[in-house]
């Protein structure tokens, strides 16, 4: 079956530091890949996505590239802010699976001033 | 603000009881999915409804059931509650068909505590 593995947190950084959150996946087909963010007390928000190999998703300074050869979709941001403190989830969706997303366990990021 | 609203936001039940959670989809969306998010874990897919029919289910027992209404709002029902059902329940709506991408929009969730 499908699965998503992401690095465990918490990840604690200083403001303006570089952030990387690793994500690897296992899928039977050619899934779309997503990063969702969950701010304290809020629901999940789509951060970025990529639908095919070598696509790069980007939003709010975050980037992730769909690497089929390494089955990875690592999230990066060059200079984090305190407001980026949240839990980040990597997820995949198979084309034939409707809206069934398979999520990783989440990575909590804490950015200190 | 995603336009997906869930109620109640918090509730406490005891083992063996039944619970109904409600979700109002974003206007124009025809598909709703429910997810269970245990504390410190990623969301797990429960099931999906498209045009009032269940058309996908995750690894959850039959005591988890749902409904989708003609206005595309939805309910999640859980019977015979167990302690492990304590979690945040997330509803997500989307528009499938007609070339739409089917992007999911999540509500803020209903936090269920089973004592």
Q: Give the tokens for residue A87.
A: 């839990």
Which chain A residues are closer than 8 Å to B42 by Cβ? 4, 89, 91, 103-106
Q: Are B64 and B78 in contact (CB under 8 A)?
A: yes
Chain A nearest CA to B59, separation (Å): 12
Q: Give the tokens for residue B106.
A: 């999540």
Q: Of B9-18, B54-63, B94-103, where does mean pLDDT reach its minimum?
A: B94-103
CA–CA separation, B24 vs B22, rounded Å? Answer: 7
Closest Cβ opposite residue A101 in set B31, B104, B109: B104
The pLDDT, as a whole number, for residue B102 is: 65
Residue in this structure with the two tokens 């690793």, named with its chain if needed: A22
CA–CA separation, B18 vs B66, rounded Å? Answer: 13
Which chain A residues are closer than 8 Å to B102 by Cβ? 98-99
The pLDDT, as a whole number, for residue B98 is: 59
Closest Cβ opposite residue A43 in set B48, B90, B94: B90
CA–CA separation, A84 vs A77, rounded Å? Answer: 10
What is the pLDDT confidence band of residue B81, given thresholds at 50, 70 and 90?
very high
Touching check for A107 and chain B: CB below 8 Å? Answer: no
Task: Give me the residues paired with residue A62 across strands.
Answer: A59, A77
* pLDDT over 80 at A95, yes or no: no
Q: Are B34 and B43 in contact (CB under 8 A)?
A: no
């Amino acid at each position: 079956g499908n699965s998503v593995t992401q690095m465990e947190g918490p990840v604690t950084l200083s403001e303006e530091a570089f952030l990387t959150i690793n994500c690897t996946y296992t899928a039977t087909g050619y899934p779309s890949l997503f990063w969702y963010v969950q701010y304290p007390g809020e629901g999940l928000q789509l951060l970025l996505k990529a639908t095919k190999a070598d696509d790069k998703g980007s939003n709010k300074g975050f980037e992730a590239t769909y690497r089929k050869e390494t089955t990875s979709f690592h999230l990066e941001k060059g200079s984090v802010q305190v407001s980026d403190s949240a839990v980040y989830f990597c997820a995949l969706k198979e084309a034939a699976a409707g809206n069934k997303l398979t999520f990783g366990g989440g990575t909590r990021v804490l950015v200190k001033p | 603000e995603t336009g997906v609203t869930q109620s109640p936001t918090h509730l406490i039940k005891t083992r063996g009881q039944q619970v109904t959670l409600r979700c109002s989809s974003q206007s124009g969306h025809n598909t709703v999915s429910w997810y269970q998010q245990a504390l410190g874990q990623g969301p797990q897919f429960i099931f999906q409804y498209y045009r009032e029919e269940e058309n996908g289910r995750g690894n959850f027992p039959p005591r988890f059931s749902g409904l989708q209404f003609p206005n595309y709002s939805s309910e999640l029902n859980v019977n015979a509650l167990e302690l492990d059902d304590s979690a945040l329940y997330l509803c997500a709506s989307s528009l499938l068909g007609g070339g739409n991408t089917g992007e999911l929009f999540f509500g803020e969730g209903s936090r269920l505590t089973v004592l």
